[in-house]
């Protein structure tokens, strides 16, 4: 703590982080979801509609395999290069947030592990309050980013009804924020959080889950801004804690190219969902008495939307919204036209998409290699093309290796 004495007045202008946390968040209480044995894990979810989205069956994803890999990486020694970061390898609508939420919930079952899941999605108010902080404080971007990350961690860990309350408290106390390097702030906050959580959990390991990371990177116009967080968690050990990190929307991972020397361990989302499971678990879940002919028609529809969980979900919404379950035995041309018209309208409202060029469509139809260029990269990010990658390199390569063909929606 630093104090300046002016006559009889005491002016506090800088605090260490622990004192700042106590000033801004006195009497903070750990969320109930971290208490051992809690069955309802909706609290602290990183997806906007957890009660609805998590009721949809998880299909074609090997959760236990990725959980085992996460534990293996926790054991890897800290390093600026060899300590890997986990990343999802799909574009928009590919199920990234759902998978990270599944991992968060599974990790909560381990009393020795603290999953800190944060999101930068549109519901978290990225932009407005951070611009306000910049205007009021004059702090550097690295420090503002760090405060933004800590604010999300506070919301993930402690009992607050809404994120805006946290932002308001921080805004009122920006002038007292510690003047130390950003990565050191994050490291110290993790230690403070673990001390708090150890009142209810025997924490030895920490997994930070960062969803929609690209949104924050775009706001700061710096694709590598999250290196502050990665370095804080992975470069050197935080006390006696073992740490690792998972990221969603890592842009380089979508095309297999990386600007960092740090290794990437991909979280393998399914290339496509099983058509039979889509039909029986989603389309027919409220109506089991569907004749074989209609089931076949539903399977054909499912095969056209199975590349992306989002398009599957939209199609399922159409069936539920228009009470179609009672009409699945009368599928005709009008039904097919209506479901795809609904699908295209929903996609158009959510995403900015465009049709691939004739050149790329030709290569896809005839199973030829697609070159890495600005168009193909944009198509992957928008999930017009979907891919599955295992290897990442600083070298630009063709996007369609022989053993990992593209799919197109």
Residue 6 lies in a domain: no
The total of structural domains in the chain comes to 3
Same domain, 91 and 173: yes
CB atoms inside a 10 Å sphere around CB 340? 15
C-alpha 20/C-alpha 26 separation (Å) is 10
Listed residues 234, 267, 300: the one ending a domain:
267
| Backbone φ and ψ of 119, nearest 5° | -135, 150
C-alpha 63/C-alpha 69 separation (Å) is 10
Looking at residue 134, what is its pLDDT?
Answer: 73
Same domain, 385 and 321: no
Same domain, 258 and 338: no
- Give the domain CATH number at 60: 3.40.50
Partnered with residue 386 across adjacent β-strands are 407
Residue 49 lies in a domain: yes
Listed residues 238, 267, 296: the one ending a domain:
267
Same domain, 254 and 157: yes
Q: Are the C-beta atoms of 257 and 238 separated by less than 8 Å?
A: no
CB under 8 Å to 145, separation ≥6 — which residues?
A: 182, 216, 220, 225, 228
Domain that holds residue 130: 20-267
Same domain, 259 and 205: yes
Q: Which H or E run contains 400? A: none
Q: Which H or E run contains 247? A: strand 242-247
Same domain, 86 and 160: yes
pTM: 0.82
C-alpha 264/C-alpha 305 separation (Å) is 29
Residue 8 lies in a domain: no
Residue 9 lies in a domain: no
Residue 15 lies in a domain: no
Looking at residue 127, what is its pLDDT?
Answer: 61
Same domain, 314 and 205: no
Same domain, 363 and 321: no
Residue 5 lies in a domain: no
Looking at residue 141, what is its pLDDT?
Answer: 81
**What angle, rounded to 10 degrees, do the helices at 182-197 and 17-24 form?**
60
CA angle 361, 251, 193 (to 5 degrees): 150
Same domain, 284 and 244: no
Q: Are the C-beta atoms of 247 and 86 separated by less than 8 Å?
A: yes
Task: Give the CB-side neighbour count of residue 53, counting CA atoms within 13 A.
Answer: 18
Q: Are the C-beta atoms of 188 and 21 separated by less than 8 Å?
A: no
Residue linked to tokens 């000033």: 23
C-alpha 259/C-alpha 255 separation (Å) is 12
Dihedral angle computed from the Cα positions of residues 300, 305, 309 and 315, in that order, rounded to the nearest 10 degrees: -80
Residue 364 token pair: 């896809």
Same domain, 28 and 142: yes
What DSSP string describes 331-344? --HHHHHHHHHHHH
Nearest CA to 53 among 89, 120, 98? Answer: 98
CA angle 83, 88, 91 (to 5 degrees): 145
Residue 3 lies in a domain: no
Residue 10 lies in a domain: no
Listed residues 350, 366, 394: the one ending a domain:
350
C-alpha 11/C-alpha 310 separation (Å) is 54
Same domain, 185 and 107: yes
Q: How far is CA 13 from CA 129, 143, 396, in A?
A: 22, 16, 49
Same domain, 65 and 151: yes
Looking at residue 217, what is its pLDDT?
Answer: 79
Looking at residue 27, what is its pLDDT?
Answer: 92
Tens place of pLDDT for every residue, the chain, 409 residues?
444 333 444 444 567 899 999 999 999 999 999 999 898 899 989 887 887 778 788 888 899 999 999 999 999 999 988 898 898 866 667 788 889 999 999 999 999 999 999 988 765 655 667 777 777 677 788 888 999 999 999 999 999 988 889 999 998 898 888 888 999 999 999 999 999 999 999 999 999 999 988 777 777 777 788 889 999 999 999 999 999 999 885 554 444 445 556 778 888 787 788 999 999 888 887 666 788 888 898 999 999 888 888 889 899 988 887 766 667 777 888 888 899 899 888 887 877 666 778 888 777 777 777 777 777 777 776 666 665 555 555 454 444 444 444 444 4
CB under 8 Å to 56, separation ≥6 — which residues?
A: 282, 313, 316
């Amino acid at each position: 703590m630093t104090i300046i004495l002016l006559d009889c007045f005491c002016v506090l202008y800088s605090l260490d982080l622990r004192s700042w946390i106590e000033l801004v968040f006195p009497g903070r209480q750990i969320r109930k979801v971290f208490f051992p044995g809690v069955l309802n894990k909706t609290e602290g979810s990183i997806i906007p509609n957890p009660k609805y989205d998590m009721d949809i069956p998880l299909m074609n994803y090997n959760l236990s395999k990725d959980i085992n890999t996460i534990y293996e990486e926790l054991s890897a020694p800290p390093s600026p290069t060899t300590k890997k970061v986990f990343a999802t390898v799909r574009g928009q609508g590919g199920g990234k947030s759902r998978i990270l939420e599944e991992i968060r919930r599974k990790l909560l079952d381990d009393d020795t592990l603290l999953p800190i899941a944060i999101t930068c999605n549109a519901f978290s108010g990225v932009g407005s309050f951070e611009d306000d902080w910049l205007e009021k404080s004059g702090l550097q971007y690295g420090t503002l980013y760090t405060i933004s990350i800590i604010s999300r961690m506070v919301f993930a860990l402690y009992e607050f009804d809404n994120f805006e309350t946290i932002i308001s408290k921080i805004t009122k106390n920006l002038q007292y924020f510690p003047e130390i390097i950003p990565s050191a702030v994050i490291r110290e906050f993790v230690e403070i959080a673990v001390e708090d959580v150890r009142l209810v959990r025997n924490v030895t390991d920490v997994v930070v889950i960062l969803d929609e990371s690209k949104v924050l990177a775009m706001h700061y116009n710096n694709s590598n801004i999250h290196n502050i967080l990665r370095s804080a968690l992975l470069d050197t050990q935080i006390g006696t804690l073992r740490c690792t990190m998972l990221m969603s929307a890592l842009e380089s991972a979508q095309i297999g190219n990386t600007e960092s020397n740090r290794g990437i361990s991909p979280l393998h989302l399914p290339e496509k969902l099983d058509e039979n499971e889509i039909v029986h678990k989603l389309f027919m879940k409220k109506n089991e008495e569907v004749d074989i002919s209609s089931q076949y028609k539903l399977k054909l529809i499912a095969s056209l939307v199975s590349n992306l969980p989002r398009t599957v979900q939209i199609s399922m919404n159409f069936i539920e919204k228009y009470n179609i379950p009672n009409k699945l035995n009368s599928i005709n041309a009008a039904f097919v036209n209506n479901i795809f018209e609904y699908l295209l309208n929903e996609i158009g409202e959510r995403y900015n998409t465009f049709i691939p060029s004739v050149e790329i469509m030709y290569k896809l139809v005839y199973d030829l290699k697609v070159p890495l260029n600005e168009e193909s990269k944009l198509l992957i990010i928008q999930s017009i093309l979907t891919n599955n990658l295992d290897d990442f390199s600083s070298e630009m390569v063709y996007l369609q290796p022989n053993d990992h063909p593209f799919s197109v929606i």
